[in-house]
Amino acid sequence: MKKFFTLFLSLLFLFSIFAYSEKAKEDPLLLKVKPAELTPLKKEAFSWLDTNMAELAKINEKIWSYAEVAMEEYESAELLASYLEKKGFKVTRGVASMPTAFVAVYGSGEPVIGILAEYDALPGLSQKPVPSKQPVEEGKPGHGCGHNIFGTASTAAAVAMKEVMEKQKLSGTIKLFGCPAEETVVGKVFMARDGVFDGLSCCIQWHPSSVNGVSLGSSNALNQFEVEFFGKTAHAAGDPWRARSALDAIELTNIGLNYLREHLKPTARIHYVILDGGGAPNVVPDYARAWYYVRDINRESAEKDYERVLKIIEGAAKMTETIYKIRFISGVHEMLSNRPGNEIVYSNLLLVGPPQFTEEEQAYAKEIQKNLGIEEKGLKKEIEPFKLPQRSWGGGSTDVAEVSWLTPTTSLGVAFKPEGTPGHHWAAVACGGMSIGHKAMITAAKVMAASGIDFLTNPGIIKKMRAEWMERKEGKEYKSPLPVDLEPPVKPKK
């Protein structure tokens, strides 16, 4: 009997270890969300998107081929604005003193659902829709971040929602924001300062990606600026004692910064490039210019780091007997994520499913991966699990963060570039303007339209979103990082 009892105890012990290890395997960050229901309203939105796929793909391809960089997006913005106008939206162009920014409005009253669209390209990334590096025109811009798909999908979602609202006589307002210059972290910051995003109940946005998922993560706050030093020139060998080197001032600033790093919190990130450092070694440069990014985990920390960087610049000017001028370019907050809103988006991503790529498209993606010497996995076929974010340091910054401080803002990523390919790369350009990009566009549009319909028809969701948003703001109100008199860096139409 005793023997039997010992056996029983050991079995119980083994079982508890097994049960414990099974439990330990379950990711504590994982959040369980069920697929959303396919309601008649969503069905209608999806069928409008499917019916209009060819026209939307054409818009996507056009913006891809325009490939206009930040603040030069004249044709891209006009294409989307005039399409929205044709579909019954009231469009205001040139908002926040930027000719390539616009707002398109449909409907009236509450709730007011915002949708963000971006359309700026990146310099030097020109690329044909082929799986090896072949620029259309060497050195010209390309859509290396997929903003052609971004702008088209958001516009498509807005029109699909409008079609449903009109047919079903739903009340509420849709506001599609045409946001220029995301790549320079500029457009939405000026739009936010000028009150363009005021009065929203919530806002929907997405970004083309290499994965399909919804992130609850944040992004870094940032201040970016240029500093110019002015000194005195002289012959670098003949009479250098008469000179005061502007380049020395920049070098001493950077030495100071690199010593400062040790005494900043590990969350701080500072980077710079020298834009102008003189013309010849035998002429002491009387002018030099550099561009700095100061980032940190939140606005307060970024501001504190920035103040210390300014002191170093002042010190460098004193040491070199030069004078300096700061040109503040832009600043952003850290992103506030919204769990109730993102749960709705995720449930709609589960409903819509990831883009269905053909074998040909997968082979195209694998060819790109082969040419880049990375694992030939093709394009993502699955949806990433919905998870609480792990603490992460040193990520990038986005001007979407400004909107997230003004209203609860959701996120979404849809795969359009092969797994493992870098960001801001020709591989993304190669996929964005052809069938792979079109499929990502229509998937994102469906998920956003379905989520928008949920926000329009279920006031309880927005209530929850706003309650969590208030909590996350911790009593802080949005304060623009921009000086009040700073003008946007507008570029004339070519």
Least distance to Zn ion, CB of residue 82, Å: 24
Nearest-angstrom CA–CA distance, 299 and 335: 10
Only one of the segments 34-42, 139-147, 261-269, 312-320 lies at the binding site for Zn ion (rule: CB under 5 A); that segment is 139-147
Least distance to Zn ion, CB of residue 153, Å: 13
Contact yes or no for 291/220 (Cβ under 8 A): no
Please give the residues from 150 up to 189 whose contact with Zn ion meets the rule CB under 5 A: none
Q: Between 207 and 244, whose beta carbon lies closer to Zn ion?
A: 207
Least distance to Zn ion, CB of residue 322, Å: 37
Least distance to Zn ion, CB of residue 182, Å: 6
Rounded to 10 degrees, the C-alpha dihedral 170/173/174/176 comes to 160
Contact between 145 and Zn ion by CB under 5 A: the answer reads yes
Least distance to Zn ion, CB of residue 231, Å: 38
Least distance to Zn ion, CB of residue 299, Å: 21
Helix, strand, or coil here: 235? strand
Contact yes or no for 172/165 (Cβ under 8 A): yes
Least distance to Zn ion, CB of residue 147, Å: 6
Only one of the segments 70-78, 145-153, 248-256, 405-413 lies at the binding site for Zn ion (rule: CB under 5 A); that segment is 145-153
Contact yes or no for 379/362 (Cβ under 8 A): yes
Nearest to 465 by CA among 204, 116, 215, 202: 202
Q: Between 111 and 151, whose beta carbon lies closer to Zn ion?
A: 151
Contact yes or no for 387/339 (Cβ under 8 A): no
Least distance to Zn ion, CB of residue 420, Å: 18
Q: Between 336 and 400, whose beta carbon lies closer to Zn ion?
A: 400
Only one of the segments 125-133, 141-149, 348-356, 371-379 lies at the binding site for Zn ion (rule: CB under 5 A); that segment is 141-149
Nearest-angstrom CA–CA distance, 390 and 377: 25
Q: Between 145 and 297, whose beta carbon lies closer to Zn ion?
A: 145
Residue showing the smallest CB distance to Zn ion in the complex: 145
The β-bridge partners of 175 are 105, 114
Nearest-angstrom CA–CA distance, 70 and 59: 19
Give me the amino acid identity at 425. Answer: H
Residue 290 CB contacts under 8 Å (≥ 6 apart), including other chains:
226, 227, 250, 253, 254, 272, 273, 274, 275, 276
Least distance to Zn ion, CB of residue 417, Å: 12
Only one of the segments 49-57, 92-100, 143-151, 229-237 lies at the binding site for Zn ion (rule: CB under 5 A); that segment is 143-151
Q: Between 121 and 288, whose beta carbon lies closer to Zn ion?
A: 121
8-state DSSP, 71: T
Alpha carbon distances (Å) from 37 to 41, 344, 439: 11, 11, 22
Only one of the segments 140-148, 211-219, 259-267, 478-486 lies at the binding site for Zn ion (rule: CB under 5 A); that segment is 140-148
Contact between 247 and Zn ion by CB under 5 A: the answer reads no
Only one of the segments 138-146, 155-163, 236-244, 357-365 lies at the binding site for Zn ion (rule: CB under 5 A); that segment is 138-146
- Binding residues for Zn ion, total number by CB under 5 A: 1
Residue 103 CB contacts under 8 Å (≥ 6 apart), including other chains:
91, 92, 95, 175, 176, 177, 178, 196
Nearest-angstrom CA–CA distance, 459 and 344: 13
Q: Between 122 and 294, whose beta carbon lies closer to Zn ion?
A: 122
Q: Between 228 and 399, whose beta carbon lies closer to Zn ion?
A: 399
Least distance to Zn ion, CB of residue 424, Å: 8
Q: Between 141 and 231, whose beta carbon lies closer to Zn ion?
A: 141
Contact between 427 and Zn ion by CB under 5 A: the answer reads no
Least distance to Zn ion, CB of residue 442, Å: 19
Token match 């502007």: residue? 246
Only one of the segments 144-152, 165-173, 248-256, 268-276 lies at the binding site for Zn ion (rule: CB under 5 A); that segment is 144-152
Q: Between 313 and 436, whose beta carbon lies closer to Zn ion?
A: 436
Nearest to 229 by CA among 308, 307, 292, 294: 292
Q: What is the CA radius of gyration of the chain?
A: 26
Element (H, E) at 155: helix 147-168
What does the per-residue mask of binding to Zn ion show for 98-137, with x meaning CB under 5 A? Answer: ----------------------------------------
Phi, psi (5° rounding) for residue 195? 80, 15
Q: Between 165 and 181, whose beta carbon lies closer to Zn ion?
A: 181
Least distance to Zn ion, CB of residue 203, Å: 17
Q: Between 59 and 70, whose beta carbon lies closer to Zn ion?
A: 70
The β-bridge partners of 52 are none
Q: Between 35 and 423, whose beta carbon lies closer to Zn ion?
A: 423
412 CB burial (10 A radius; 0-12, 13-18, 19+):
buried
Q: Between 145 and 336, whose beta carbon lies closer to Zn ion?
A: 145
Least distance to Zn ion, CB of residue 398, Å: 8
CA atoms within 13 A on the CB side of 100: 30
The residues of the shown chain that bind Zn ion, judged by CB under 5 A, are 145
